[in-house]
Structure formats: C-alpha cells, structure tokens
Copies of this chain bind each other. A is one copy, B any other.
Amino acid sequence: MNNREYAEIVCKELQAALGAIDTEATEKFADLLLEADEIFCAGAGRSGFQIRGFAMRLMHMGRKSYMVGETCTPNITENGLLVVCSGSGTTKSLVNHAMKAKEVGAKVALITINPDSAIGKLADVVIQIPAVSPKSDVQGAVKSIQPMGSLFEQCEGIYLDIVIMILMKRLGLDSDTMFGRHANME
C-alpha cells in the first residue's frame, strides 16, 4: 500500500471521527475559551504536541495562553480555564492538574476518548472523540488501521484547529490579523 492509498483510508477515519463530535459541547467549549482570562493547555506525549499547536494559535489570536510545564507558565486562578487532551482521561499528572484547577475555582475542558474517566468526571465540558486507542474500549468508536492512539491524536489537532476557526468567526478575526503576533525569532 503506498502513501496515497493510506491517505485515503486515514482521511475517511478522520471524517468519521471528527463528524461525530458533539456540536453543543463544542459551542460550550468556545464559550469557556472566550470567558477565561487565561487559558492553560496540558497534555502528555503526542496529545501534548497537538495541544501545543492550539496554545500557540490562541496566542496568535491575542489570548493569554500557556502550556503547563513551560518556563513562564504562572499559577492558574479562578478566572482560568485548563484545557486537557488525554485519550484515556486518566494520565496521573493530568488528573493532578485538573484537580488543582478545580480546587482554585478554575474551569476544566477535556478532549478525550473516555468521558467517564477521572478527568471527565470533574470537567466542565467534555469533548468526546470516538477514535479507538489501545487503552480504551468504547462502544460505537471509529475503528482505525493506525497504530496506538494516532487517529485520536490527529483528530485532536484538527478539531482544535476547527475550534480556532469558530473563535475567529465570533471575534471577527482573519488570518492577517492573527499573523501579527507570530513569533519573529525562531
């Protein structure tokens, strides 16, 4: 099978999984993103790389955003929103972050395969992506030919980019405006 043949299958998997994400939950997620004074993003491994792209786009839009664990990330307070990407919803360090966020009165949003997970139970909004991973066993999930959590991680990145477009529309921003704060030292 060559790369074009793989691409066709993967794009169908993406369409199936992304097309099943709840629209109401997404609107609520967008509300929380616009209401928060500061947005903290967290994720481990490949989920962490996807949400980094989201944190960066939020900065491009002029929102105060941070990656948990980076150098200049301050404490989260009651006006903050913590966005967590976790397929299993049970990664220990992320559970701790979510508990801390709730403890100080901040909001929590979770992008996950498993809404019934530890983080899912305390989140203010849960975005379920029905993409099968080796760690989960969810009814009605999209089957993937891809290894490990690849389909979920791809969906995370694309979904979060879609959320950015929803925010841009609400805020009346376009691509040129956003380029304004694009890093000029890299």
Q: Is the interface of A mostly helix, strand, loop or mixed?
A: helix
Interface residues of A (CB under 8 A from B): 1-4, 6-8, 10-11, 14-15, 18-19, 21, 23, 26-27, 40, 42, 44-46, 49-50, 52-53, 55-60, 65-76, 82, 91-93, 96-97, 100-101, 104, 134, 145-148, 150, 153-154, 157-159, 161-166, 168-169, 174-176, 178-186
In the assembled complex, which residues on chain B have CB atoms less than 8 Å from the CB atom of A73?
59, 183, 185
Query: Within the oligomer, what is the number of copies of this chain?
Result: 4
Closest Cβ–Cβ distance, residue A50 to chain B (whole Å): 7
| Interface-central residue, A7, A26, A69, A168, by most chain B CB under 10 Å | A7
In the assembled complex, which residues on chain B have CB atoms less than 8 Å from the CB atom of A92?
92-93, 96
